[in-house]
């Protein structure tokens, strides 16, 4: 079987490639990346050197073209812009890049496109969880680009099975987005946006890879199929801080900071790029996703359709993430 994974130098793509390299059913893993050298160096740090079934190509979205590859059996599209500098950059990569992939890939492969809960927006008021079919109201350029990607794929109506997978925050070893959290809990005071607790769905990278595998094997023949996926349980921003501190063997206090003050910091990042570089979620656009108090998803339809259920434990996932940061010398 030939598997094409985009975004292999990123957190989720790399997790998928490492899993696929150890899967005897997969004969070739094709990884189009912007820098082959970056991917080779990352894999070497995971103890994987020149694996014979890995085919690394250099290609950049949206100008990539996969026709020369011939037929592939499965695609997982992880390449994307999560923290861009302009609306145009989000749309060019997340929308145009995805369409170009679907237009040029051959063999009618089963295809998973990583969308995001940001495409739908926060949980609608009065509901415990956002369902597929609730009115989509993205509140960031990132979310708008993911929603547009989904609708553009529907308009294109590819003649092969496509899953539009709306993931919540993904946690696990290799996730750079939680580095500021682990660095913060080394101090005693942990600034927390707003006075009320914020509630989130989450998914471990291992659960996400298992969910993708389950859809490949047992996914419904509806295309495109849009679905939410989550690991068990809802977490709060305080849980994130306290659990990151516990696994780091640190103690401290969450200090609620008025959101108005944080809005000013996010605005300041327009003129002080170092703010966004150190905490990417504080760029003015992505910061809009910090203010709502509920980002919880209903994943039951996907679970019913595939028989898959997440099984990750939140504390264990954060402990393994920290171990990875320590190994990389980042904390």
Ligand X SMILES: NC(=O)c1ccc[n+]([C@@H]2O[C@H](COP(=O)([O-])OP(=O)(O)OC[C@H]3O[C@@H](n4cnc5c(N)ncnc54)[C@H](OP(=O)(O)O)[C@@H]3O)[C@@H](O)[C@H]2O)c1
Q: Which spans of this chain sit near ligand X (rule: CB under 6 A)?
A: 7, 9-13, 34-35, 38, 60-61, 78-82, 93, 114, 116, 167, 169-170, 177
Contact (CB, 8 A) for 120 and 298: no
Find the shortest distance in angstroms from Cβ 147 to ligand X: 12
Rounded CA gap, 78 and 150, in Å?
14
Select 79 or 318, whichever has its Cβ closest to ligand X.
Answer: 79
Q: How far apart are the first and last CA of the chain?
A: 39
Instruction: Give 60 or 313: the residue with its C-beta nearer to ligand X.
Output: 60
Q: Which is nearer to ligand X, 16 or 250 (CB)?
A: 16
Q: Measured from the CB of residue 189, what is the shortest distance to ligand X in angstroms? A: 26
Closer residue to ligand X (CB): 101 or 262: 101
Complex with ligand X: residue 41 or 261, whichever CB lies closer: 41
Smallest separation (angstroms) from ligand X to the CB of 261: 25
Closest to ligand X by CB, 54 vs 188, is: 54
CA atoms lying within 13 Å on the CB side of residue 326? 8
Are 312 and 141 in contact, with CB atoms under 8 Å apart? no
In the complex with ligand X, the residue whose CB is nearer, 261 or 330, is: 330
* Separation of alpha carbons 170 and 273, rounded Å: 25
Q: Which residue is nearest to ligand X (CB)?
A: 10
Q: How far is the CB of 14 from ligand X (least distance, A)?
A: 7
How far apart are CB 167 and ligand X at their closest, in Å?
4
> How far is residue 302's CA from residue 315's CA, in Å, rounded to a whole number?
24
Contact 30, 57 (CB under 8 A): yes
User: Comparing C-alpha atoms, which of 309, 120, 123 is closest to residue 208?
Assistant: 309
Contact of 129 with 117, CB cutoff 8 Å: no
Q: What sign results for the dihedral spanned by CA atoms 15, 18, 21, 25?
A: negative
Beta bridge partners of 166: 115, 228
* Cis previous bond, 271, omega within 30: no
Nearer to ligand X, 267 or 281 (CB): 281
Residue the block writes with tokens 């607790």? 197
The answer to whether the beta carbons of residues 210 and 15 sit under 8 Å apart is: no
Shortest CB 53 distance to ligand X, Å: 20
Q: Least distance to ligand X from the beta carbon of 192, Å?
A: 19
Distance between CA 48 and CA 32 in Å, rounded? 18
CB of 79 to ligand X, least distance (A): 4
Residue 59 CB-density burial (10 A; 0-12 exposed, 13-18 middle, 19+ buried): middle
């Amino acid at each position: 079987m030939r598997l094409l994974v985009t975004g292999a130098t990123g957190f989720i793509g790399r997790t998928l490639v490492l899993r696929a390299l150890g899967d005897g059913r997969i004969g070739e893993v094709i990884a189009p990346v912007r820098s082959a050298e970056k991917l080779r160096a990352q894999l070497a740090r995971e103890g994987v050197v020149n694996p014979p079934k890995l085919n690394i190509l250099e290609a950049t979205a949206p100008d990539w073209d996969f026709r020369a590859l011939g037929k592939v059996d499965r695609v997982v599209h992880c390449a994307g812009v999560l923290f861009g500098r302009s609306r145009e950059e989000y749309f060019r990569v997340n929308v145009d890049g995805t369409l170009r992939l679907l237009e040029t890939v051959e063999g009618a492969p089963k295809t998973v496109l990583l969308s995001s809960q940001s495409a739908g927006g926060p949980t609608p008021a009065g509901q415990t969880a956002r369902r597929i079919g609730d009115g989509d109201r993205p509140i960031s350029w990132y979310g708008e680009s993911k929603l547009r990607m989904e609708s553009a794929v529907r308009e294109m109506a590819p003649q092969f099975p496509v899953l539009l997978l709306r993931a919540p925050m993904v946690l696990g070893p290799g996730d750079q987005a939680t580095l500021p959290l682990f660095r913060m809990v080394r101090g005693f005071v942990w600034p927390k946006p707003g006075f009320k607790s914020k509630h989130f769905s989450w998914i471990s990278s291992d659960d996400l890879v298992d969910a993708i595998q389950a859809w490949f094997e047992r996914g419904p023949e509806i295309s495109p199929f849009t679905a939410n996926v989550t690991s068990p349980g809802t977490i709060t921003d305080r849980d994130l801080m306290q659990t990151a501190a516990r696994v780091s063997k640190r103690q401290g206090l969450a200090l609620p900071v008025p959101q108005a003050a944080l809005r000013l910091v996010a605005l300041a990042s327009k003129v002080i790029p170092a703010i966004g570089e150190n905490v990417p979620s504080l760029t003015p656009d992505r910061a809009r996703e910090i203010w709502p108090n509920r980002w919880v998803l209903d994943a039951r339809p996907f679970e019913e359709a595939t028989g898959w259920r997440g099984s990750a434990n939140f504390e264990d996932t954060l402990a393994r993430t920290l171990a990875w940061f320590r190994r990389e010398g980042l904390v």
